[in-house]
Amino acid sequence: MSTTLNAPAPAPAATKPAGDPGIAILRGLPNLIVFSALAGILYFGHRHEWKLPKLSALAGGATQADDDWCAEHLVPESVCVECRPDLFPRAPEFGFCRIHGVVECVNDHPELAQVKGAPKLPRYDTSQAIAVRDRPENNSRNTLHKKLVQFASAESATKSGIDIDVVQERAMSDVLTANGEMTFDPTRVAHLSSRVSGTIAHVFKTLGDDVSAGEILALVDSASVGQAKSQLLHTVVQLQLRKSTAERLRGATDSVPKRTLQEAEAALQEAQITFLSARQALSNMGFDLPEEIEKRDPKQLSDDVRFLGLPAEMVAKLSQATQTANLIPVRAPYAGVVVSCDVVAGEVVSATNLLYTVADPKRLWLHLNVRPEDARYVELGQAVRFRTDENSTEAAGSVAWISPAV
């Protein structure tokens, strides 16, 4: 016998009674009030620049004052004129001047000039002065002039090398700038050598000494000079002898054959030519021979030729200690200073050896290297002012020569 049990029927689900909407609003009202209060506090703190306390303050450390610093312009925010334009009122803006090529042109708007008293306009045409030379043009769209350079403190400005001075009104000059080099006047620089080969006998001047025109710098002992002097003495004696012979034969034309007289005249002409040649040889060496030297006594002429070209005071010193007649002087052509000296007594020199360089320091040349684009503005007679690298000396002059080479 089987028994079947039937499962009980499920009970019907309980239904939640519908709540009152007013009750739900009342329940959410406290949360709404809290969030509104927090939003108000946040807005108030933002407007009054509230900041979170630092860790040191939370840990009980000393409370520090708020930082007064503008991170964008790197100056204290309380004095930042970029962030606070009211601290530095700007002048009215007039824009870019097309005539003078600048912004906020003080020529068209003198009231912009920061000068003491009433501004004065230039007494010349500024636009015409600007057009004299080619100049770089300003960008009319550039607004960099509106920016201000600020320093965190006066000490920062001093460390940056900023110097403050009173603005002055003065005339402006349009100048060309070029590098230059001072040199001696090429026409007043003499490179001196011995006219003939020989040995340095005496040295009277050395490096840095002042010399006068014609002063003897050194003496060279040369065998060529001795031979030339000896040849001159020989030709003078021959000339005097043949001249007296020809004069004696001219007085006895009746008793002397014509051929003999012609031979005497020819010998006289030959002696004259030989004398002129010997005289010219000494002149080529720089000696000044006295006039009518061919009429002098041979003995007296020998003493004169021995120290030819030397002053009397030098002859007085050399006559007792010097027996040679081979001396030739090296002279300064004009007054100046010895700027180079390569002379040693007893040294053998030739005509190609440079012994002295004498320059006149009173006359100097300034060689200016002008840029090609500025060359067309240079004119003869134009005033020039030259300053040394350390600005210790200033020289004034004028343009005397313009090189045609570029």
- pLDDT tens column, 327-347: 999 999 999 999 999 999 999
Last residue of a domain, one of 325, 350, 377: 325
Among candidates 285, 276, 274, which has minimal Cα distance to 224? 285
Has residue 168 been placed in a domain? no
Please indicate, yes or no, if residue 228 is contained in any of the structural domains: yes
Which helix or strand (DSSP H or E) is residue 275 part of?
Answer: helix 258-284
Give the whole-angstrom CA distance, residue 268 versus residue 262. Answer: 10
- How many domains is the chain built from? 3
- CA dist 243 and 224 (Å) reads 28
Tens-place pLDDT, residues 259-275 = 888 888 899 999 999 99
pLDDT in tens, 20-46: 666 766 777 777 787 788 887 777 777
In a domain, 346, yes or no: yes
The model's confidence at residue 148, banded by pLDDT at 50, 70 and 90, is: confident
Is residue 41 in a domain? no
Residues 290-322 pLDDT 10s: 888 888 888 888 888 888 888 888 888 876 667
Give yes or no: residues 251 and 398 share one domain: no
Residue whose entry in the numeric block shows the structure tokens 């700027």 = 339
- If pLDDT is split at 50, 70 and 90, which confidence band does 191 have? very high
Q: Looking at residue 3, what is its pLDDT?
A: 41
List, for residues 151-169, the tens digit of each pLDDT value: 878 888 888 888 888 777 7
Residue 62 clears pLDDT 70, i.e. is over it: no
In this structure, the answer to whether residues 205 and 264 fall within a common structural domain is: no
- Residue 30 belongs to some domain of the structure: no
pLDDT at 154: 83
Are 321 and 232 contained in the same domain?
yes
252 to each of 47, 248, 259, 268, how far by Cα in Å?
145, 7, 13, 17
Q: What is the DSSP letter of 284?
A: H
Per-residue model confidence (pLDDT) at position 254: 72
DSSP strand E in 99-215: where? 102-103, 179-184, 189-192, 198-203, 210-211
Give the pair of three-digit tokens for residue 354: 């440079």
Q: State residue 52's pLDDT score.
A: 63
Per-residue pLDDT of 345-369, as tens digits, reads 999 999 999 999 999 998 889 999 9
Q: Residue 376 carries which DSSP code?
A: G
Q: In this structure, is residue 401 part of a structural domain?
A: yes
Residues 307, 401, single domain; the answer is: no
Which of 255, 290, 325 terminates a domain? The answer is 325
Identify whether residues 75 and 206 lie together within a single domain.
Answer: no
Rounded distance, CA 400 to CA 190, Å?
22
Sequence-distant (6+) residues with CB within 8 A of 11 are none
Residue 49 lies inside a defined structural domain of this protein: no
**pLDDT over 70 percentage in the chain:** 87
Q: Mark whether 209 and 344 lie in a shared domain.
A: yes
| Sheet strands (E) in 254-401 | 327-331, 336-341, 348-349, 356-359, 364-369, 383-387, 394-398
Is the confidence at residue 4, as pLDDT, over 70? no
Q: Tell me, yes or no, whether 372 and 337 share the same domain.
A: yes
pTM, rounded to two decimals: 0.57
Residues 235 and 320 in one domain: yes
| Cα separation, 340 vs 359, whole angstroms | 9
What the block records as the tokens of 125 is: 């045409």
Asked if residue 2 has pLDDT above 70, the reply is no
The alpha carbons of the chain give a radius of gyration, in whole angstroms, of 53
DSSP 8-state symbol, 54: P
Say whether pLDDT at 1 is over 50: no
Parent domain of 80: 67-154
The answer to whether residue 282 sits within a structural domain is: yes
- The verdict on 216 and 337 lying in the same domain is yes
In this prediction, residue 13 has a pLDDT band, given cuts at 50, 70 and 90, of very low
Domain end residue (candidates: 299, 325, 351): 325
Q: Are residues 229 and 321 in the same domain?
A: yes
Residue 359 in 3-state DSSP? strand
**CB atoms near residue 206 (< 10 Å):** 12
